[in-house]
Amino acid sequence: MAKHFRSIDEAGRDHVIRLLNLTDHMAEVNRRLHPKVPALRGRTVCNLFFEDSTRTRLSFDLAARRLSADTLTFTAASSSVNKGESLRDTVETLSAMGVDAFVVRHRSSGVPWQIEHWTDAAIVNAGDGWHAHPTQALLDAYTIMQRIGRSTDLDGLEVAIVGDIRHSRVARSTTEVLRLLGARVVHVAPATLLPPHPIAEQIGDLDEVIDRVDVLYMLRMQRERMDSALVPAGVEYVERFALTAERARRLRSDALLMHPGPMNRGVEMLVDPSEVPQSAILDQVTNGISARMAVLFDLLGSGTGLEDQ
Amino acid sequence: MTESSMLLRGATLIDHTGERQGDVLVADGRVTQVSANIDAAGAEVIDVVGCIIAPGFVDLHTHLREPGMTEAETIETGSRAAALGGYTAVVAMPNTDPTQDSVEVIEFVRRRGIEVGLCDVRPSGSITIGRAGEQLTPFAELAAAGVHVFTDDGSGVQDAGLMRRAMEYGRELDIVLAQHCEVSALTKGAVMHEGECCSHLGLPGWPALAEELMVHRDIELCRLTGARVHLLHLSTARSVELVRRAKADGLPITAEATPHHISLTDERLSTFDTRFKVNPPLRTMADIEAVRAGLVDGTIDAIATDHAPHAGHAKDRPLDEAPPGMIGLETAIAVCRAHLDMSWQHLLGAMSWRPAKIAGLDDRHGRPIAAGEPANLVVLDPDAEWIVDPHKLSSKSSNTPFVNMSLRSRVRHTIFEGTLVVRDGVAQR
């Protein structure tokens, strides 16, 4: 059994397949009239959010509660971190309260690895720097499989991930999981927003791939990138890489439109996704609960307790 | 025969003149006799059969952290680490607090080094006031106070115009300008080498180019001004090639490389261990091979440790916040021996007499092992095997990247100015 869930590469294929199957079980739980099971009763999950992310935090919190775990939440904004407390002291202190799992979000890559020396608790990576966001990857893979009706692989599928790949933990983890499942991943971005060394096939022109891909995965584009001269100021990025109504019309009818949220309307999204029938964006949010339940159950559960209480 | 005399019996002696067997008699701070089978009644006889005796090592690049950052290291603890590593002289880097940019601070460091008395502590001076890259320090005044190496180490001098002035002004003084080669506009926020590994780890990259651009710039400024230039901690293949060509052109350029840049690749960062964060960063295998080749063919003159102690809590921070640097004085010779395919004489030259000359210390260090010479010597057991335990190292900090590594070769004794400051691997004060 795995002790932590911190990146797709670290987890490996068997662990990912197991989690995808578990996600499907959890989706079934979530469709029940009373979507709550006793599987993690008496276990304590601590959301350790050094970087603010309301959506991810709420999603993990709900996932833990649906498994009947006790939850506590630490957010840097309202905590002793502002008084100069170190990462190590924070982790050791919370750990001493009897935490079974930490769900960690930090703006610096690698923090979920660093803290393993200071706690015996399981560690779930809820996003570290530009590095990894493996539960997002899991929910993305599950969403695609669910929509196209596959259960074990994504062989032959082509997925274009568009936008700020370089600074995106979502791009890295989702690329890893999709490739692990057999999909072909193409990164679409200007060279300044790609990693220095390619981690997937790269294309600089969205219009070259938009009418053929099975999945169009739009990333959030931060306006600050223009201030640091990674892209020209003004509308050029929007014209070249945003999803416009015209581009949305060119998507195949059986394609999927995805986005990890939160969307930056007017930057990478110039269409209302609710008007794009191919959109799976809200499915991603829904499946996020199931995927995170699967991860927590896998790390903390005894393998039982998924029946109604 | 004085009471303090000692006879080192049965070692192989290696210095720049060559290699031979013999006994070495030391008295009153000097080597008094070197020959086979010395009979010295009254001298303490130290059996060093199987060992190598060489001139003490000289580190061109040591951060002693005092004044100002004594939680990480002090002149005393750093000197002790140096002595245990076989060093009889270290050049103390100027990025202290306050900066080593005035005679007062230089004098403090020098005096403290003498008080500690474990090795020759030679403070470098900064090129610019406060290492801020704006105004030159008083080169002549500092040189008169004994400073030979000037550097803003920790950062490079970014302004090419100012660096040109530093070289022009410094040319007529007997000094060397040592550059930390890093164009900082290309390394903002950088944590590790820019390449395949950082692309996967999502860590901001420090491109090789940022070093090579400044290496190239300073080679050309050296060509223009004729000043003596030393390039610190070269880490990339192209840097080595640029220096090789500059030397072929006859320019007065020297260069150093660190033990970690010939032994560890950027892949070490894949566990996000801050011990492996260093500036310049660990690079690729191709770079390592090029730096090794540079040492073998003499393009790179010296091995320097860039011993950079940091308190444990400083390294317990996220990678982007943790300070760069690793300690290296006590592991240098063993790491270099394991990773360099060269003769003992060539290796010891890179550790001793070549850096001694660069630092202007060759009147007392890196000397031949001969009667009348200052007794600054290291006795090395080339076959001693040991495992690096950070808590058993003498540095006040434990940020060694070689933790738990099994190494071969260890300093048995260090003799500084005729005194046994390390005996059987134990510092004597």
Instruction: Say which CATH number the domain at A100 has.
Output: 3.40.50.1370
N-to-C CA span, chain B = 25
- Is residue A305 situated within a structural domain? no
Cα-flanking dihedrals φ and ψ of residue A290, to 5°? -65, -40
Chain B residue with Cα closest to A194: B199
Residues 164-193 of chain A with CB under 8 A from chain B are 169, 172
Q: Is A133 a catalytic residue?
A: yes
Judgement on whether residues A158 and A270 belong to the same structural domain of the protein: yes
Is A15 in the same domain as A76?
Answer: yes
Question: Is B408 within 8 Å of B337 (Cβ atoms)?
Answer: yes
Domain presence at residue A117 = yes
Contact B367, B374 (CB under 8 A): yes
Q: Verify that A148 and A115 share a domain, yes or no.
A: no
Q: Are residues A85 and A186 in the same domain?
A: no
Same domain (yes/no): A274, A294:
no
Same domain, A36 and A151: no
Based on the fold, state whether residues A108 and A186 are members of the same structural domain: no
pLDDT of residue A147: 96
Q: In terms of domains, do A85 and A177 share one?
A: no
Q: Which CATH class is domain B6-53+370-427?
A: mainly beta
CB B164 within 8 A of CB B136: no
Residue A144 CB neighbour total at 10 angstroms: 27
Per DSSP, what are the bridge partners of residue A102?
A: A46, A123
Distance between CA B71 and CA B397 in Å, rounded?
8
Task: Output the pLDDT for position A309.
Answer: 63
A141 and A238 part of one domain: yes
Interface test with B, best of A114, A166, A167, A176 (most B CBs within 10 A): A114
A258 within domain boundaries: yes
Count of structural domains, chain A:
2
Domain contains A241:
yes
Cα A197 to its chain centre, rounded Å, is 22
Residue A1 in domain: no
Of the pLDDT bands very low, low, confident and very high (cuts 50, 70, 90), residue B41 is confident
What ipTM, to 2 d.p.?
0.95
Are B186 and B207 in contact, with CB atoms under 8 Å apart? yes
Residue A120: strand, helix, or coil: coil
Residue B91 phi/psi, 5-degree rounding, is -95, 115
Strand pairing partners for B55?
Answer: B377
Look at residue A147 and tell me if it is in a domain. yes
Where in chain B is CATH 2.30.40.10? 6-53+370-427
Peptide bond into B204 cis (omega under 30): no
- Do A36 and A141 fall within a single domain? no
Q: Do A114 and B195 touch (CB under 8 A)?
A: no
Which tokens sit at B111?
């005096």
B319 contacts on A by Cβ (under 8 Å):
108-110, 114
A6: Cβ contacts below 8 Å, ≥ 6 apart: A112, A113, A123, A124, A125, A128, A132, A134
Please report the pLDDT score of residue A2 as a whole number: 83
Residues of chain B with CATH 3.20.20.140: 56-358
- pLDDT, one tens digit for every residue, chain A (309 residues): 789 999 999 999 999 999 999 999 999 999 999 999 999 999 999 999 999 899 999 999 999 999 999 999 999 866 666 566 789 999 999 999 999 999 999 999 999 999 999 999 999 999 999 999 999 999 999 999 999 999 999 999 999 999 999 999 999 999 999 999 999 999 999 999 999 999 999 999 999 999 999 999 999 998 777 778 899 888 899 999 999 999 999 999 999 999 999 999 999 999 999 999 999 999 999 999 999 999 999 999 988 888 876
The CA-CA-CA angle for residues A266, A268, A270, to 5°, reads: 45
User: Residue A103 in 3-state DSSP?
Assistant: strand
Cβ–Cβ below 8 Å for A195 and B313: no
pLDDT in tens, B296-345: 999 999 999 999 999 999 999 999 999 999 999 999 999 999 999 999 99
Residue A250 lies in a domain: yes
Long-range contacts of A89-98 (CB under 8 A, 24+ apart): A90/A48, A91/A48, A91/A115, A91/A118, A91/A119, A92/A118, A92/A119, A94/A46, A94/A48, A95/A119, A95/A120, A95/A121, A97/A44, A97/A46, A97/A72, A98/A44
**A26 and A160 share one domain:** no
pLDDT of B100 higher than 90: yes
Chain A residues whose CB is inside 8 A of the B317 CB are 86-87
**Structural domain that includes position A100:** 8-133+286-300
Architecture of domain B56-358: Alpha-Beta Barrel (3.20)
Return the H-helix or E-strand segment holding B150: strand B149-151
Residue A109 and residue B199: Cβ atoms within 8 Å? no
pLDDT-based confidence at residue B1 (cuts at 50, 70, 90): very low
The pLDDT assigned to A79 comes to 61
One domain for residues A292 and A239: no
Mean pLDDT, rounded, for B88-103: 98
Verify whether the Cβ–Cβ distance A106 to B320 is below 8 Å.
no
Best mutation target among B191, B199, B310 (most A Cβ atoms within 10 Å) is B199
